[in-house]
């Protein structure tokens, strides 16, 4: 199954790049040894990674005030909007 990440960059500011925000997962196993999350550790050290972009129908309106809420996505979607300002 593909793992979806929220894009954290603006296509207007970075038309040829996609940036994502990832927290490196660190946890202790049952023996008390520190372990790194498999995917976040891989992406931290990877020079390149194959990605697939899922199209979106979202259009940001500029003619009305917007109250943005990130249900479960945290602040990552807001990073791209802040870049455009």
As a whole number of angstroms, the distance between CA 64 and CA 79 comes to 20
User: Residue 85: pLDDT band by 50, 70, 90 thresholds?
Assistant: low
Inter-residue contact 83 to 13 (CB < 8 Å): yes
pLDDT in tens, 10-65: 888 888 888 888 888 899 999 999 999 888 888 888 888 888 888 777 777 778 88
pTM of the model: 0.58
Mind spelling out the 3-state secondary structure of 13-82?
A: CCCCCCCECCCCCEEECCCCCEEECHHHHHHHHCCCCCCCCCCCCCCCCCCCCCCCCCCCCCCHHHHHHH
């Amino acid at each position: 199954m593909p793992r979806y990440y929220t894009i954290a960059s603006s296509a207007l500011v970075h038309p040829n790049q996609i940036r994502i925000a990832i927290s490196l997962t660190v946890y202790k196993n049952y023996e008390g040894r520190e372990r790194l999350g498999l995917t976040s550790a891989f992406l931290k050290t990877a020079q390149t990674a194959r990605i697939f972009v899922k199209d979106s129908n979202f259009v940001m309106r500029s003619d009305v005030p917007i109250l943005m809420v990130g249900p479960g996505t945290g602040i990552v979607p807001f990073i791209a909007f802040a870049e455009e300002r």
